[in-house]
Chains A and B, each alone.
Chain A
């Protein structure tokens, strides 16, 4: 007699998430021109983690981070692993919907949803929640209410003043001290210097790959770039570096032999706005399925995570920590800050530098800060005569029809512009 087993809710969630992940991976792998061979590492990685729910960091202390402002260098230096918890699963978004106001950001809902279901392949031992946007700051407390250990890391909402710099530096120093006590591990000059250099090297590899996209024939599509950068959220850094070295090498060869990941007439897009996080690569996929190519981005799940690098004048622990603090505050173009002139300048510079034909600005419905910045960015682009499309989307799989129409129309108009010269 066959044994009947009733699926637990955890198993059901995992099945749904695996289905979500698998269907997106399928599209990424097969619906486009042949990707670089070195991408297979990343495809496998997502399959292992998101479809088979494999744990990657069994033997290490795991520090969950709720935003990019938590310095990974310090976490690595304390012999722990940073895990970025920003979540892209619709399954988790639905769970979180019951706990948060209906008009909340899907990313926050999905993150809270994952905690509510307490379903992790690598469960964080402590969660660091920087006080960035309102929704993230408040959800830290909600997560704590579920019984997780949450550390609020104070983050200023302006970044120009001397006071905000000092405030954030103090906040990072305090974080370092508290985490060191929590993990019972001493921070040494050597370990911090090593981790700064290691993360710096990872960034250096990212830049090496990224600048190849400036070529008229870009060797890699945006959807693959997002996978690569997203993997930095949770992968073992050494493995990521190895895979990245291979990918850079292969893409350099592709540039030499002029392999074009898109087609000759494909409009070149700069992507900005709410972060695409696997498996919510809906918009990047729609863009590239419409025969455009994302050549650069200004999002916190990709470029913003890698762009600014740490410089240290004197390698003492305190100086290193201050330098680290500055890197995470000063160059950041997150819309939570009062002013956004840096972000506008950044987008325009990317358009010029990567010879883009247009910008696509996507905001999650419910991500108030991105929604609020929309008008001013649109104005700035108009002034600079850069075509821009603004989209609002969420994690639901149902809405793609309308989005496809708008994206296709935009891409078509860019192609016409290109043809006219």
Chain B
């Protein structure tokens, strides 16, 4: 048992993550080719506009469901809405936000863009702390759009083109279908003024997505409403990111590697549950922590992956020295 644990704690998490991300990417984007369908309550941006999707992003059905007239929405006829939501929760509670760090196709694409930038030898950019504090609120506005816009349609306040307003502006709608050779989403909808504005915004956000995640790691995740939605339920999740503040020296190694620039991971020594709303549970922080057991990922209160001195040295290639003859 101890040996298995040692093996996991010394693992090269980057490689593990790369392959797992690739697996989920293929599963979600090309699942249709293999007749895989995991339903349409998946808690990641595996876009329903992709015809071969192997499991659909929960937001597309959710928006359609919420756009029902109010009396239908709150009647027994909407039991399917509830079932969809419960399915979403069931998927979510197992892996918590690791969905973002390991399974989300849109997240994976951003990591690939990061990889491309690294290959080109270009340095990443970061936000300053005040910028960060302001920007991180946008995802809640987006979540409000996901929920309120279709309800507005249901109530008859907004026109039908608001039904899937978020999808119209989501970069996933335009980019994901490209992977199966579908370019039909790359057009502006001139049918109504609103549709035109929304699809134009979609085009702009898609451009921002590509440029943004090239210069800034996980650029889009700051604004992702799914991430906000996750956070609301993350306390109930089985997989947890934990911190033992007594063991933390606040050295900031975790913060340094954090794609999401979460400062609490290094500075908060009081919380035991250290998962924050921006977190994508990629576990890079755990891998970069040089203190034994200061950070760990638990499943059902069992330590799954812990920070260790030995694991840190191994991953940083500091456990041996290539000796040169000089």
Known: A314-B118, A314-B123. A162 touches B250 (CB 8 A): no
Contact of A201 among B121, B253, B288, B321 (CB under 8 A): B321
Q: Is B320 touching A326 in the complex (CB atoms < 8 A)?
A: no
Contact of B250 among A197, A342, A348 (CB under 8 A): A342
> Residue A307 at the B interface, CB < 8 A?
yes
B contact residues around A308 at 8 Å (CB)? 249, 251, 253, 290
A contact residues around B128 at 8 Å (CB)? 162, 166
The residues of A with any CB-CB pair to B shorter than 8 Å are 160, 162, 165-166, 197-198, 200-201, 203-204, 207, 211, 241, 307-314, 316, 318-319, 322-323, 326-327, 330-331, 333, 342, 345-346, 348-349, 352
> Residue B313 at the A interface, CB < 8 A?
yes
- In the assembled complex, the Cα of A198 lies from the Cα of B326 at a distance in Å of 15
> Residue B148 at the A interface, CB < 8 A?
no
Q: Is B123 touching A319 in the complex (CB atoms < 8 A)?
A: yes
- In the assembled complex, the Cα of A83 lies from the Cα of B203 at a distance in Å of 58
Known: A197-B321, A201-B319, A204-B313. A309 touches B124 (CB 8 A): no
Shortest A262–chain B CB gap in Å is: 24
A contact residues around B316 at 8 Å (CB)? 197, 200, 309-312
9 new A-B contacts at CB < 8 Å, known A310-B253, A327-B252: A200-B313, A201-B319, A204-B309, A204-B319, A309-B316, A311-B257, A322-B256, A326-B252, A326-B253
Q: Is A311 touching B246 in the complex (CB atoms < 8 A)?
A: no
Q: Is B251 touching A331 in the complex (CB atoms < 8 A)?
A: yes
Contacts across chains A and B counted by CB atoms under 8 Å: 96
A contact residues around B252 at 8 Å (CB)? 165, 326-327, 330-331
> Residue B135 at the A interface, CB < 8 A?
no
Q: Is A316 touching B256 in the complex (CB atoms < 8 A)?
A: no
Q: Can you list 26 A-B pairs, Cβ within 8 angstroms, ordered by A?
A: A162-B129, A162-B130, A162-B263, A197-B321, A198-B321, A200-B313, A200-B316, A201-B313, A201-B320, A204-B309, A204-B318, A308-B253, A310-B316, A312-B256, A313-B284, A313-B288, A314-B118, A323-B253, A323-B256, A326-B251, A326-B256, A327-B251, A327-B252, A327-B253, A345-B245, A346-B249
Q: In the complex, which residue of chain A has the Cβ closest to the Cβ of B117? A: A314
Known: A316-B121, A345-B246. A330 touches B251 (CB 8 A): yes
Q: Is A197 touching B317 in the complex (CB atoms < 8 A)?
A: yes
Tell me the residues in window 301-326 of chain B with beta carbons closer than 8 Å to chain A beta carbons.
309, 312-313, 316-321
Q: Is B123 touching A241 in the complex (CB atoms < 8 A)?
A: no
> Residue B42 at the A interface, CB < 8 A?
no
Tell me the residues in window 206-260 of chain B with beta carbons closer than 8 Å to chain A beta carbons.
245-257
Q: Is B123 touching A311 in the complex (CB atoms < 8 A)?
A: no
B contact residues around A330 at 8 Å (CB)? 250-252, 266
Q: In the complex, which residue of chain A has the Cβ closest to the Cβ of B246? A: A349
Contact residues on B (Cβ < 8 Å of other chain), bracket = 35 or more
- In the assembled complex, the Cα of A211 lies from the Cα of B310 at a distance in Å of 11
A contact residues around B249 at 8 Å (CB)? 307-308, 331, 333, 342, 346
- In the assembled complex, the Cα of A313 lies from the Cα of B118 at a distance in Å of 11
Known: A162-B129, A346-B249, A348-B246. A313 touches B317 (CB 8 A): no
Contact of B123 among A165, A310, A316, A327 (CB under 8 A): A316
- In the assembled complex, the Cα of A198 lies from the Cα of B245 at a distance in Å of 29
- In the assembled complex, the Cα of A342 lies from the Cα of B263 at a distance in Å of 16
Known: A311-B312, A326-B252. A345 touches B257 (CB 8 A): no
A contact residues around B121 at 8 Å (CB)? 316
B contact residues around A319 at 8 Å (CB)? 123-124
Q: In the complex, which residue of chain A has the Cβ closest to the Cβ of B129? A: A162
1/0 per position for B125-152, CB-CB distance to A under 8 A? 0001110000000000000000000000
Q: 4 closest pairs, A vs B, by CB?
A: A200-B318, A331-B251, A311-B253, A162-B129
Q: Is B251 touching A314 in the complex (CB atoms < 8 A)?
A: no
Known: A197-B318, A309-B318, A313-B256. A345 touches B269 (CB 8 A): yes
Shortest B292–chain A CB gap in Å is: 8
- In the assembled complex, the Cα of A121 lies from the Cα of B266 at a distance in Å of 42
Shortest A383–chain B CB gap in Å is: 14
Q: In the complex, which residue of chain A has the Cβ closest to the Cβ of B317? A: A197
- In the assembled complex, the Cα of A349 lies from the Cα of B294 at a distance in Å of 11
Shortest A249–chain B CB gap in Å is: 14
- In the assembled complex, the Cα of A207 lies from the Cα of B267 at a distance in Å of 23
B contact residues around A197 at 8 Å (CB)? 316-318, 321
B contact residues around A352 at 8 Å (CB)? 246
B contact residues around A207 at 8 Å (CB)? 309, 313
- In the assembled complex, the Cα of A307 lies from the Cα of B291 at a distance in Å of 9
A contact residues around B263 at 8 Å (CB)? 162
1/0 per position for B247-287, CB-CB distance to A under 8 A? 11111111111000001001101000000000000001000
- In the assembled complex, the Cα of A322 lies from the Cα of B125 at a distance in Å of 13
A contact residues around B266 at 8 Å (CB)? 330
- In the assembled complex, the Cα of A52 lies from the Cα of B217 at a distance in Å of 55
